[in-house]
Structure 1
Amino acid sequence: MELSLENLNKAAANNGLIIGILSAVFGIIIFYVAPALFGSMWFGIANMIFFLVVYIFFTIDLRKKVGGYWNFRQALKGIFLMAFVAVIVGAVVNYVFYKFVEPDAFSKISGYIEEGMTKTFENMGMDADAADAEVAKAVERMQAQFDPTPLQMVQNLAIGIGVAFVMSLIFAAIFKKEPPIFAPVEDDID
């Protein structure tokens, strides 16, 4: 069933809800199955690539749901709404999970983060003292994600929404598709 552009908001919100839940569930599964991955730079890169592919899939799905054509403005509106909902849902689920279900989650994975980042900085040839200072900063930033204060939660949301908007601008430019000006000509030669 194809939706019209009037139903863009509903379709975008539904896709965003799916992405947000997928993101949160993926993070929770990794926390329980392989928490050491949180300290791996390669996992971070692979995770980013995976969710980039997920966003591309759902962007194309959204364009199909609205009839296959949208201009830049319509694409930006739909993609940003989808990303906005995904960021909010993911943040709320993660906050509830790490605050109430697993309140000591950061203490469980901080060692993995420190170990992984130390290895990364050593492989880069960084001085041990400088590496220790950078690891301490990185661990502090990670704590703001796993056990945020209310101010840090607002900051994390603002950063997430900002990234979502920039990503939406890029995706809208790539995935806009104007309808053809002229209808295709079909020759009925009998």
Structure 2
Amino acid sequence: MEEQQSPFQAAIKPGLTIGLVSLALTFIAYFIDSSLLGSAWFGLVAIVVFIVLIMYFGKQYRSELGGFMTFGTAFNFSFIAIVISGLVGLIGQILLFHVIDPSLAGVLADQAFETSLGMMESFGQDPDALDPAVLEEMRASTAKSFTLTGQLMSFGFGLIVYAIIALILAAILKKRDTSLDY
């Protein structure tokens, strides 16, 4: 009889796969047009692909377990796979922003700043009415998020988001064996 893998062991390969797919999407977008990396639709597509792949691998793991999986097992599997995927993506982004194209961070920071100003205008706020010091602080904080420290901090805060996503996915992936009810 084959020994079942723990959620951690089972999540390593899917996490690496999802991370590499995410990295491939990032580099494809970069080579097509680097401004795509700052667009909202690219982020939405990446999240959808990410969630679909976690669901696919989660269902595969559930099948390996005999078709049933507890919420805790589903959460552990999802969270570990997401964290591994995030680490692969973080390494790729660090390479992209600091080795391959160091000027890209500035371009994306400017794009994010302009998007923020556009959102402010759509909500009725006139950016020209803001104090120039406030605008400069917004620009600096946006640029800071693309530094190595900013990327590491974003990953740290992202762990909270990863946990929330894993909770939602665990609720979807869990399946209780009703034949044990009596």
Fold-level similarity (TM above 0.5): yes
Q: Give the match for residue 172 of structure 1.
A: 170
Q: 1:106 to 1:161 in 2, by over 3 A?
A: same
TM-score, normalised relative to structure 2:
0.78
> Cα RMSD (Å) of the superposition?
3.0
Query: What SS does the aligned partner of 2:114 have?
Result: helix
Q: 1:44 to 1:124 in 2, by over 3 A?
A: farther
Q: Name the % identity.
A: 23
Query: What SS does the aligned partner of 2:66 have?
Result: coil
Query: What SS does the aligned partner of 2:160 have?
Result: helix
Q: Give the match for residue 185 of structure 1.
A: none
TM-score, normalised relative to structure 1:
0.75
Q: Give the match for residue 120 of structure 1.
A: 119
Runs of 4+ in structure 1 off by over 6 angstroms are none
Q: Give the match for residue 32 of structure 2.
A: 33
Match of 2:106, as an amino acid?
A: S
Give 1:94 shift: 1.3
Q: Whose Rg is larger? A: 1
Following superposition of structure 1 onto structure 2, how do residues 94-105 of structure 1 map, counting pairs within 5 Å? 94-105=93-104
Unaligned runs of 5+ in 2: none
Following superposition of structure 1 onto structure 2, how do residues 38-187 of structure 1 map, counting pairs within 5 Å? 38-128=37-127, 129-130=129-130, 133=134, 137=138, 140-141=141-142, 143-144=144-145, 146-149=146-149, 152-181=150-179
Moved more, 52-61 or 19-28: 52-61
Q: Distance in 2 between matches of 1:107 and 1:140?
A: 12
Give 1:124 shift: 2.6
Q: Distance in 1 between matches of 2:102 and 2:60?
A: 37
Match of 1:173, as an amino acid?
A: A
Q: Distance in 1 between matches of 2:87 and 2:174?
A: 25
| Alpha carbons 1:69, 1:179 under 8 Å: kept | yes
Deviation per CA, 1:4-27, whole angstroms, max 9, x where unpaired?
Answer: 643533321111111111112212
Q: Distance in 2 between matches of 1:40 and 1:135?
A: 22
Q: 1:40 to 1:90 in 2, by over 3 A?
A: closer
Q: Distance in 2 between matches of 1:131 and 1:14?
A: 50
Q: 1:108 to 1:154 in 2, by over 3 A?
A: closer
